[in-house]
């Protein structure tokens, strides 16, 4: 039986890769405009990092980690980027000499989830983390950059859902309030959520069980748990966002599925995504650094799922075009053609050579299939005349050119 890719993973094929590359190039350009620098961290990390950062009782840590055992060590294929970036920031002293370190990343993440549309086991994040400050202006900038990124990728019809969990103390108060309310519904909650009530009440809000969802969707909160500073911070963020003409809604139930969040959190949803409707999400996680290093460091960020962005983006790039394609007939022509191939490539022009023994007709067919713009034909006649025949593949015409003129001809023709 033919072996297949593991469920929930995908090959990104040559005909799709240009779209991926364009998404990456455009994202890098946007990050550059906002002064974010790229960082690449390992694909796997020590298991302790994610347990401590994301929270022991989160779905990711409980059910979705791909664990690698190597001797006495336990590693995890990274399920997200924030924890790794926080580790890298601390380990490499990236805060040295600067109040704010702005970083971005593009790369694969791994979660052992049940695959469905928009939910994969290996997917890709485009993410940003701004570390060093707790300013509301940074929260506003992150929302604005997310919005600009989506626009740059041609995406519309999305909506921001925004909430504030408040500082660490406020979040504790919010938790108590939530627990008090949920205890009234305890008998209708699933077994796991009954446990979550005492372990980590926020995780009840992530439950996929229908009964639990009915209960949590109907919950009404106000922001009474926010202290004055957090209330002012939240108001300022919303004031800033109001200026951008961004479609948003404040939703008190939005707590996010990872424990490290505090302060302002947000999610960006899209109506065409179906059940997995989040294009991306983010927020503030000031308390994470306290957890990892006992230092007070403000930080916030976001990440988009690239596969989901692609599902709703109209941007599709056509495969890269091959400029030249050399077809030769006879030994001498082949030798001359191979020299020419090297010359053309070294002049910065894409070119390939048909190495097969097939007929001229099938070689031309191959050139067509590859989307070559110009075929350079060299046969016995051409060798005698020291000229090549150039066939224009997009028009039905051809012309003869001296051997020495081929590189210049291609240079001019492809510009
Ligand atoms: P997250 O909400 O877990 O947040 O993931 C961010 C986005 O990744 C989601 O909104 C979704 O588009 C995509 N995503 C998540 N899981 C899958 C999956 N199984 N298949 C396909 N796409 C998926 C984080 O990971 C945080 N680290 C975001 C962040 C950065 N917060 C602060 N900084």
DSSP SS3 for 116: strand
pTM of the model: 0.93
Which of 23, 123, 303, 307 for a ligand 1 pocket mutation test, highest count of atoms within 8 Å of Cβ? Answer: 303
Burial of 363 (0-12, 13-18, 19+ CB in 10 A): buried
Distance CA 53, CA 40 (A): 19
Residue with CA closest to ligand 1 atom 17: 119
Q: At what angle do helices 406-414 and 331-346 cross, to 10 degrees?
A: 50
Q: Hey, CA dihedral for 284, 265, 277, 196, is it positive or negative?
A: positive
Query: 317 forms bridges with which residues in the sheet?
Result: none
Which CA distances in Å does 31 have to 38, 142, 290? 9, 11, 27
Angle at 258 between CA 121 and CA 176, to 5 degrees: 145
Which of 80, 89, 124, 162 for a ligand 1 pocket mutation test, highest count of atoms within 8 Å of Cβ? Answer: 80
Spacing, Cα 304 to ligand 1 middle (Å) = 6
Residue with CA closest to ligand 1 atom 25: 80
Instruction: Kindly report the backbone phi and psi dihedral angles of residue 369, in degrees, each rounded to the nearest multiple of 5, phi listed first.
Output: -60, -35
Residue ranges of domains in the chain, CATH in brackets = 14-167+227-312 (3.30.930.10), 324-414 (3.40.50.800)
Give tens-digit pLDDT for 126-136. 999 999 999 99
What are the tokens at 161? 């859902």
Give tens-digit pLDDT for 244-299. 989 999 999 899 989 999 999 999 999 999 988 999 999 999 999 999 999 999 99
Spacing, Cα 173 to ligand 1 middle (Å) = 26
Give tens-digit pLDDT for 136-192. 999 999 999 999 999 999 999 999 999 999 999 999 999 999 999 999 999 999 999
Residue with CA closest to ligand 1 atom 18: 119
HSE (side-chain half, CA atoms, 13 Å) at 79: 28
Spacing, Cα 22 to ligand 1 middle (Å) = 21
> Ligand 1 in contact with 79 (CB < 6 A)?
no
Evaluate if residue 22 carries a pLDDT over 90. yes
pLDDT of residue 221: 85
């Amino acid at each position: 039986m033919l072996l297949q890719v593991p469920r929930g993973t995908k090959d990104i094929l040559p005909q799709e890769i240009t779209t991926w590359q364009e998404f990456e190039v455009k994202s890098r350009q946007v990050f550059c405009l906002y002064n974010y620098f790229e960082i690449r961290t390992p694909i796997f990390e020590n298991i302790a990092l994610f347990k401590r950062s994301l929270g022991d009782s989160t779905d990711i840590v409980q059910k979705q980690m791909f664990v690698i055992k190597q001797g006495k060590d336990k590693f995890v294929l990274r399920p997200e980027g924030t924890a790794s970036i926080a580790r890298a920031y601390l380990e490499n002293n990236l805060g040295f000499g600067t109040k704010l370190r702005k970083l971005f990343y593009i790369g694969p993440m791994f979660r052992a989830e049940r695959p469905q549309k928009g939910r994969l086991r290996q997917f890709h994040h485009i993410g940003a983390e701004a570390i060093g400050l707790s300013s509301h202006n940074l929260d506003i900038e992150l929302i604005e950059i997310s919005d600009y990124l989506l626009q740059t990728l041609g995406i519309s019809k999305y909506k921001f859902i925004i909430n504030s969990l408040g500082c660490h103390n406020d979040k504790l108060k919010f938790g108590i309030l939530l627990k008090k309310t949920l205890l009234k519904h305890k008998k209708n909650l699933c077994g796991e959520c009954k446990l979550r009530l005492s372990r980590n009440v926020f995780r009840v809000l992530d439950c996929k069980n229908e009964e639990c969802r009915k209960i949590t969707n109907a919950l009404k909160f106000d922001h009474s748990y926010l202290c004055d500073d957090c209330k002012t911070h939240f108001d300022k963020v919303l004031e800033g966002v109001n200026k951008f003409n961004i479609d948003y809604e404040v939703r008190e139930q939005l707590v996010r599925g990872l424990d490290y969040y505090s302060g302002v959190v947000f999610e960006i949803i899209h109506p065409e995504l179906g059940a997995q409707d989040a294009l991306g999400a983010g927020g503030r996680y000031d308390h994470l650094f306290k957890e990892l290093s006992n230092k007070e460091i403000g930080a916030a960020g976001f990440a988009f799922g690239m596969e989901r962005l692609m599902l709703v983006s109209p941007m599709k790039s056509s495969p890269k075009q091959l400029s030249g394609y050399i077809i030769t007939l006879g030994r001498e022509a082949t030798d001359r053609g191979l020299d020419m191939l090297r010359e053309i490539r070294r002049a910065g022009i894409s070119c390939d050579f048909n190495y097969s023994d097939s007929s001229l007709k099938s070689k031309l067919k191959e050139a067509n299939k590859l989307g070559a713009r110009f075929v350079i034909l060299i046969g016995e006649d051409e060798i005698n005349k020291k000229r090549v025949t150039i066939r224009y593949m997009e028009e039905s015409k051809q012309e003869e050119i001296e051997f020495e003129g081929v590189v210049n001809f291609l240079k001019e023709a492809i510009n």
